[in-house]
Amino acid sequence: MTALQIIFLLAAAVILISAVMVTATRNMVHAALWLIATLFGVAVIFAVLEAGFLAVVQVVVYIGAIAIMFIFAVMLTRREMLDKGPQMNKRAWLAGILCVVIFASLIYMLSSWVGFNQIPLLVGNADTLTLLGQSLLLPSAYLLPFEVASVLLLAALVGAVYVASNRKQEEK
């Protein structure tokens, strides 16, 4: 077993354990902290896949922005729900069975594919970061999805501010 495989297995164990804890913990602040552990594991997986830029973006955007936003939302909405009542639906068992079936059928479908066990080619001297920048900004490559993503972010910003603003208080 090579060092890379051991790193992968450790990261995968961290990801899966903390993902289970995200769906199982009662305290929402703890769930958000477990989500941060999952996101760190995914950043390690990106580094194993030699996508260094995405690993950095994962830490900066997901952990630095999205996870912090979740913690703020939890602090703004908790109070009840923490100690009383079940955290799961009445039909959680059905959801569990459905997820196991979906996982099994995904693995079955994928394992019948020829490339399931393929080994990666060496990156060699390819400068993937420059290639990524070029493919994001060349009109012949992915300039349009890039601009659409920026418009989407602007729309989400305006929409979030509008939805979350407290109009009742302003009228008083």
Partner 1 sequence: MIPLSWFLILSAALFSIGLFGVMARKNAVAILLSVELMLNAVNINLVAFWRYGNIVNMAGQVFAIIVFAVAAAEVAVGLALVISVYRRFNTVVADEIDLMKW
Residues of this chain, 110-149, that bind partner 1 according to CB under 8 A: 110-111, 115-121, 123, 126, 128, 131-132, 135-136, 141-142, 145-146, 149
Nearest distance, CB of residue 160 and partner 1, angstroms: 4
What's the distance, CA 82 to chain centroid?
25
What is the spatial distance between Cα 98 and Cα 79, in angstroms, rounded to a whole number?
Answer: 32
- Residues in contact with partner 1, total (CB under 8 A)? 90
What is the spatial distance between Cα 150 and Cα 138, in angstroms, rounded to a whole number?
Answer: 16
Among 14, 30, 37, 57, binds partner 1 (CB under 8 A): 57
- With contact defined as beta carbons under 8 Å apart, do 63 and 40 qualify? yes
- With contact defined as beta carbons under 8 Å apart, do 135 and 141 qualify? yes
Among positions 13-42, residues that touch partner 1 (CB under 8 A) are 15-16, 19-20, 22-23, 28, 31-32, 35, 38-39, 42
Quickly list DSSP for 108-124. HHHHTSGGGG--PPP-T
Among 153, 170, 171, 172, binds partner 1 (CB under 8 A): 153
Task: For residue 10, state whether it binds partner 1 (rule: CB under 8 A).
Answer: no
Among positions 69-98, residues that touch partner 1 (CB under 8 A) are 69-70, 72-74, 76-77, 80-81, 85-89, 91-92, 95-96, 98
Return the C-alpha torsion angle 72, 73, 79, 84, nearest 10.
Answer: -120
Nearest distance, CB of residue 162 and partner 1, angstroms: 8
Structure tokens at 123: 């990156």
Nearest distance, CB of residue 139 and partner 1, angstroms: 14
Which of 133, 40, 144, 26 lies closest to 83, judged by CA? 26
Task: For residue 59, state whether it binds partner 1 (rule: CB under 8 A).
Answer: no
Among all chains, which residue has been given the structure tokens 């199982």?
24
Nearest distance, CB of residue 74 and partner 1, angstroms: 6
Identify which of residues 2 and 83 has a Cβ nearer to partner 1 in the complex.
Answer: 2
